[in-house]
């Protein structure tokens, strides 16, 4: 095997992949944390407690995970207003928001991010519920782009009876 010659193109490609590996691993760790686990095996792991979670922070975490998919398709416009925290597990909320972002990104044609935008609105509805609206606009795939609104009840502390 000593007479085999090295393929420069293959060597260059492997070198590029090796350099990108740390960033890819960091993205995977971020994605796993955003949907509630520290690694792939924990995604279906033990139940998490429901917590009062801030929507803006959760949306930013989901956006960071989806950034590679969204970035090649659209510009992101974030319009965040005060919103109540919602009662959910990090896994549930992260997966739900990631799904909304991914579906919005897939509704627009890839490769022309300057022609598309995905607008993320976080705020409070008139009823006091947390409201998230994700709107995709621009040239779309099969006319699928549009707006999706999600309303979540605010996290309310359990009622406590006081005894005298």
| Tally of structural domains, the chain | 1
| Secondary structure class of 145 (helix, strand, coil) | coil
Is residue 77, in this structure, part of any structural domain at all?
Answer: yes
Is residue 117, in this structure, part of any structural domain at all?
Answer: yes
Task: Please count the other Cβ atoms lying within 10 Å of the Cβ belonging to residue 106.
Answer: 16
Is residue 17, in this structure, part of any structural domain at all?
Answer: no
Task: Please count the other Cβ atoms lying within 10 Å of the Cβ belonging to residue 110.
Answer: 13
Asked if residue 70 lies in contact with residue 138, where contact means CB atoms within 8 angstroms, the answer is: no
What pLDDT does 159 receive? 36
Averaged pLDDT for residues 105-126: 86
**Does the structure show a pLDDT above 50 at 113?**
yes
2-38: pLDDT as tens digits: 556 788 877 777 777 677 667 656 655 655 555 554 4
* Whole-number Å distance between alpha carbons of 145 and 137: 6
* Whole-number Å distance between alpha carbons of 104 and 95: 14
Is residue 116, in this structure, part of any structural domain at all?
Answer: yes
**Does the structure show a pLDDT above 80 at 73?**
yes
Residue 59 vs residues 3, 16, 44, 46, 63: alpha-carbon distances, Å: 56, 31, 21, 24, 6
What pLDDT does 122 receive? 92
- Does this model's pTM top 0.75? My answer is no
Is residue 133, in this structure, part of any structural domain at all?
Answer: yes
What pLDDT does 80 receive? 96
What CATH number did the domain enclosing 84 receive? 3.30.565.10
Range of the domain at 94: 51-152
* Whole-number Å distance between alpha carbons of 58 and 98: 10
Is residue 44, in this structure, part of any structural domain at all?
Answer: no
Averaged pLDDT for residues 52-77: 89
Strands (DSSP E) contained in the chain are: 51-53, 75-80, 86-88, 117-124, 130-137, 147-152
Is residue 9, in this structure, part of any structural domain at all?
Answer: no
* Whole-number Å distance between alpha carbons of 156 and 52: 8
What pLDDT does 6 receive? 81
Is residue 25, in this structure, part of any structural domain at all?
Answer: no
């Amino acid at each position: 095997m000593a007479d085999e010659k090295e393929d420069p193109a293959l060597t260059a490609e492997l070198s590029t992949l090796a350099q990108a590996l740390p960033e890819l691993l960091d993205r995977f760790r971020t994605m796993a944390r955003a949907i509630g686990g520290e690694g792939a095996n924990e995604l279906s792991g033990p139940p998490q407690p429901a917590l009062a979670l801030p929507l803006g922070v959760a949306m930013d975490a989901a956006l960071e995970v989806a950034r590679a998919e969204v970035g090649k398709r659209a510009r992101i416009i974030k319009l965040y207003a005060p919103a109540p925290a919602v009662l959910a597990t990090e896994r549930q909320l992260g997966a739900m928001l990631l799904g909304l972002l991914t579906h919005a990104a897939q509704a627009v044609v890839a490769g022309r991010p300057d022609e598309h935008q995905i607008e993320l609105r976080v705020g409070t509805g008139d009823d006091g519920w947390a409201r998230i609206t994700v709107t995709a606009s621009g040239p779309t795939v099969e006319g699928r782009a549009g707006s999706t609104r999600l309303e979540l009840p605010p996290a309310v502390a359990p009622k406590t009876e006081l005894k005298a």
